[in-house]
Structures are given as C-alpha cells and as structure tokens.
Homo-oligomer: A and B are copies of this chain.
Amino acid sequence: MKTQLEYAREGIVTPQLKHVAEEEGIPEEVLIKKVADGSVVIPANINHTNLIPCGIGEGLRIKINANIGTSSDTGDVNTELEKLKVCIDYKADAVMDLSTGGDINAIRKTIIENCPLTIGSVPIYQALVETTASYKAVVNMTEDDLFNAIEAHCRDGMDFITVHCGITRRAVELLKYEGRVTDVVSRGGAFVIAWMLHNNKENPLYEHFDKLLEIAHKYDVTLSLGDGLRPGSTADATDRAQIEELITLGELVDRARAAGVQAMVEGPGHVPLNQIITNMQLQKTICHNAPFYVLGPLVTDIAAGYDHITGAIGGAIAATNGASFLCYVTPAEHIGLPDIEDVKNGIIASRIAAHAADIANGIPGAAERDRRMSAARKKLDWEGQKVECIDPVKFSEMRRNKQTATEACSMCGKYCAMKIVEKELGISCGDHC
C-alpha cells in the first residue's frame, strides 16, 4: 500500500492525480512534482471509495472547507446530511465532521458514505466524548483511547485528520507567560493542554508521532497539523507560543514527508489585517512549503453574527499570500452551532474570498468567469448573469423582489446609464452612479 506522495515520487500517475490535473487544467507532469515535494496534497483515504478528490496547495485553485456536525446541545444525523447537501450544492471542496453529540460513530459513517467531497475530522473529539462518557474526566483519557479514536476515523475513510501535534511542553510554558487575552481557543488544543498539565506528560501526539504516521500511512490519510495555540483574539496574534508551535509543526512536516505521509499545516485564527502576510510568509518558510489551511483569519473580534464577512476579508488576503485552503467561518461563529442557512452563508463568503484570490493569483479560468459575468451585465442579459453568478437562486430571488418598469434594474430605472451612453458612444454601462 502506497500513499499519493509515494506514488508521485515514483512518477506513477494515480487516478486521483489524473483527476486533479484535469480539474485544475494543469499538466500531470507539473502536478506530480508538486505532490512529490509536498507543496500539494491530494487527501484520498483508500477507504473513502466514493471520493471525487481535489488537490490542495501551491498553484492550484484555492479550496474551501465547511465544518458540519452535531454538538452535545443540538443536531441529528438528518440535519447534518442536509448540511452536507448544502456543502455539495454550494460547492465546498471539503467538509469536516466535527460531531460531538448523538451516536457519533454512526453519524460519521453515514456522512462519509454520502460524501463525494474531501472529508476530514478531529479524532480527539471522539476520544473526549468517549472518555467523558466512561471515566467522567477528560484528563483520564489514556494514550490508547486517543490512538484508537484516530485509527477508527482513519479506518472509516477520513481523507484528512486534524491532529494537534505541535503543542509541546515548551510551547505550553511559553503560553503561560504570554499574558494572552483569550489564552487557548482551540478545543482540541485545550484538551491536549489540560491532559498534559494534569498528567505532567509530554503531548502523546508529539511524543508518539511515529505511531500516528504509521496509522496515517496505512490508509493514506493526510495529516492536518493543528494549531492548538492559535490566537483567539487579534491581540494574541503572532506571539511566541503561536510561532513556537508553528516551528514544531514545520519539523513534523519533514518527518511526515520522510515517512511518505502527506501533511498540511493549520493556521490562525484571529489576526490583524496587517499581520496576515507575515503569518503566511512564516508558515511557508518554516513549514517547507506545506499547504497552509487557515481558519479565517478573522481581522477583528467584534463582528459576532457577521464573522463570515470577517473571515472572508482575512481569507482573501491569506489566500493571495500563500494559504491554499480556507476553513469557512459562518455567521454563527462565537455564538452557536451553525444551522443550514449559516452553513450556506459561510460557504458563499469563503467562495468569494477564494475566487477573489484565484483571480489575483492568475489561476486559469478564474478571471474568465468574471469576464463572462460582466459581459452579460453590460448587455443587461439577466439570464447570462444568473449562469455565472455565485448563487443563482439568490440572484433570481432578489431580481424578482426588486421589480422594475424597465429592462434595467430598479437602482437606475429609466436613468440606466447604459442606455444613454450606448446610444451616443456605442458603449454601455452596468453599475449605478
């Protein structure tokens, strides 16, 4: 059994690589080099048989992930399957099942069965839920509990898993003296730290990283090296604890590659706009060009209820400066579990950010779509615009609700500049004022 990384090193074009090259419109011989050197990953668990794979990394279209899953408070498998349908319909590239409520084993298997998208999870949640159910205190989780949960997720077909391997005792020491406003905001990271401190031990995911590599290799699971110490407020961004963890993740990227295991790196978080480029550059150099999977970044802390917008601002800048994979943020972030409408709005906002970056990055086909949209707009061709726009359903609904007496829109009505200039100059217009 070989991984996509190993096949690429041997120059073997897998069906997955072939598919990704076609989708991206780039030659197989270009893509295979990127997979071989680790700057692109193709997460594709051998047990995720219904997967239509995508590639994540340098030179490719920016991918977006949508988190779904139950919590202890709310959610059932049918709601989660509805969310999955929204993810597919609105063109998320990947989903993560973060379920922590209900029969999470059954929910995970059902979601994977119904998911042609790249799928990921955070197995430590499973260990946590099970530990809490049996022993009461999470700090009593055994190392076996943790690795059993990881193996279960990998066996079931997760294409990538988040593992918080970079939280070392040294990083925790640094954290203690940071004077952070929000300390630790990663749930998985928080569990790991609590466990380490209570048991006075090193992080098992770091200490037994080879064991993790063995499991990941067996199923060709891509490791998404989690940022347990990411800043949860703009005030905490780019501090010593965060960067120390990143350095460790960089080392682990090399170890993963040496073991033939694909790896990407997760990043912040809440980051002031003027620190985003620095964060992207640091990750690229420290992690030897591993694909960067960012959670936002959120450029302000105050926009609860609208953090899909905050995340789209940060995500677009990140993706234009080295990030390859954007985790969506929904309007519900910081308030509660996203419902179906939140999931949709989160996906749309991330797709806008990703597409804006694709245009800026010169990705083949990206600017062409905008050109077709704008050409249709110029012609007042509303059907043509509907075909190209990011959400045809919303577009038609809004157009219907904003009745106009003319073929123009109700913003300009009979004073549509298009009409006037077209007559005089043979050229036309699409916006207002």
Which residues from chain A sit less than 8 Å from chain B, CB to CB? 67, 71-74, 98, 100-101, 122, 125, 128-129, 132, 138-139, 162, 175-176, 180-191, 193-194, 197-198, 232-236, 270, 272-274, 299-306, 308-310, 312-313, 316-317, 320, 331-339, 348-349, 352-353, 355-357, 359-361, 367, 369-371, 373-375, 377-378, 385, 388-391, 394-395, 398-399, 401-406, 409-418, 420-421, 423-425, 427-433
Cβ contact of A425, chosen from B182, B197, B336, B414, cutoff 8 A: B197
Q: Which residue of B lies closest to A408 (CB)?
A: B73
Chain B residues, CB < 8 A from A356: 272-273, 299-300, 310, 313
CB distance from A381 to the nearest CB of B (A): 12
Closest residue of B by beta carbon distance from A416: B187
Contact B73 A403 (CB under 8 A): yes
Min Cβ gap A103→B in Å is 16
Are B100 and A402 in touch, CB under 8 angstroms?
no
Considering residues A190, A316, A428, which has the most beta carbons from chain B within 10 angstroms of its beta carbon?
A190
Check B415–A72 contact: CB distance below 8 A: yes
Are the CB atoms of A417 and B181 closer together than 8 Å?
no
Cross-chain contact of A331 among B185, B398, B410 (Cβ < 8 A) = B398
Residue of A122, A129, A189, A427 ringed by the most chain B CB atoms within 10 A:
A427
Q: How many copies does the complex hold?
A: 2
- List the B side residues contacting A98 at CB < 8 Å: 432-433
Q: B352 touching A300 by the CB < 8 A rule?
A: yes
Contact B359 A299 (CB under 8 A): yes
Complex Cα distance, B299 from A88, in Å, reads 24
B residues near A405, Cβ cutoff 8 Å? 72-73
B377:A303 contact, CB within 8 angstroms: no
CA distance A189 to B415 in the complex (A): 12
Q: A182-B429, A413-B100 are in contact. Are A274 and B305 (CB under 8 A)?
A: no
Q: How far is the CB of A339 from the nearest CB of chain B, in Å? A: 8
Chain B residues within an 8 Å CB radius of A373: 233, 301-302, 304
Q: How far is B405's CA from A18's CA once the two chains are assembled, in angstroms?
A: 48
Q: Does A198 contact B424, Cβ atoms closer than 8 Å?
A: yes
Task: List chain B residues, Cβ under 8 A from A349.
Answer: 306, 309
| Chain B residues near A411 (CB-CB < 8 A) | 71, 332-333, 335-338
Q: How far is the CA of A331 from the CA of B191 in the complex (A)?
A: 40
- CA distance in complex: A85, B187 (Å): 41
Q: Contact: B193 with A385, CB < 8 Å?
A: no
Contact flag A335-B67 (CB < 8 Å), given A417-B184, A421-B184: no
Q: A71-B413, A98-B433, A305-B389 are in contact. List 8 more A-B contacts (CB 8 A).
A: A184-B425, A185-B429, A194-B424, A303-B389, A332-B402, A335-B395, A335-B409, A337-B411
Residue of B nearest to A312 (CB): B309
**Distance (whole angstroms) from the CB of A204 to the closest CB of chain B:** 16
Assess A182 versus B374: contact at CB under 8 Å? Given A73-B406, A410-B336. yes
What separation, in Å, do the CA atoms of A373 and B378 have in the docked complex? 44
B73 near A421 (CB under 8 angstroms)?
Answer: no
A336→B273 contact, CB < 8 A: no
- Complexed CA–CA distance, A186 and B415 (Å): 12
Partner of A310, one of B139, B190, B352, B375: B352
